[in-house]
Structure 1
Amino acid sequence: MKIILNGEPYDLEQPISVAELVRRIGKSENRVAVERNREVVPHSAYDSVLLQEGDRIEIVQFVGGG
């Protein structure tokens, strides 16, 4: 199964949740925002939203600073 992750092809063996994808790429769920097919995924839905073939996912990480 292929998705597009931050503009690059990304292969998955099976559908996984947004939360699992965030963990696989080594990010903390509390420090990222996820967009799926141009719609923001609420943090409360990360565990229940399953990725599907062809999904376009953008993940951005919040960085502190001044």
Structure 2
Amino acid sequence: MMHNNINIQINGEPFNCAEPISLQFLLDYLDFNPEYVAVELNDTLLPEPLFQSTYLNDQDKLEVITIVGGG
């Protein structure tokens, strides 16, 4: 069985996947809490409700910013 490898960048670092995965799956895999991150995919800010339905493609560039509360 042949896998389609995809190569993406996460915060400027290369990341390889065996097959296309959803943004939600990737965030879970990397232990990011979707409620506390801002995600930019190819220079477009994505709202949290789209994480589950957004699939990553080869050469995508992802920026994940952790939102920290303070006071």
TM range (shorter): over 0.9
* Correspondence list, 1:23-42, <5 A: 23-42=28-47
Gaps (5+ residues) in structure 2?
1-5
Query: Normalising by the residue count of structure 1, what TM-score does the alignment of the two structures yield?
Result: 0.94
RMSD of equivalent CA atoms: 0.8
In the alignment, what sits opposite 1:5?
Answer: 10
In the alignment, what sits opposite 2:19?
Answer: 14
Listed one character per residue, the Cα deviations across residues 3-62 of structure 1 (whole Å, up to 9, x for unaligned) are 000001001111111111111111111011110000011111100010000000000011
- What code does the residue aligned with 1:41 have? L
- In our comparison, the structure showing a higher alpha carbon Rg is 2
Cα separation, 2, equivalents of 1:26 and 1:44: 18
Gaps (5+ residues) in structure 1?
none
Sequence identity, in percent? 35
Which aligned segments of 4 or more residues in structure 1 are displaced greater than 6 angstroms? none
Query: Normalising by the residue count of structure 2, what TM-score does the alignment of the two structures yield?
Result: 0.88
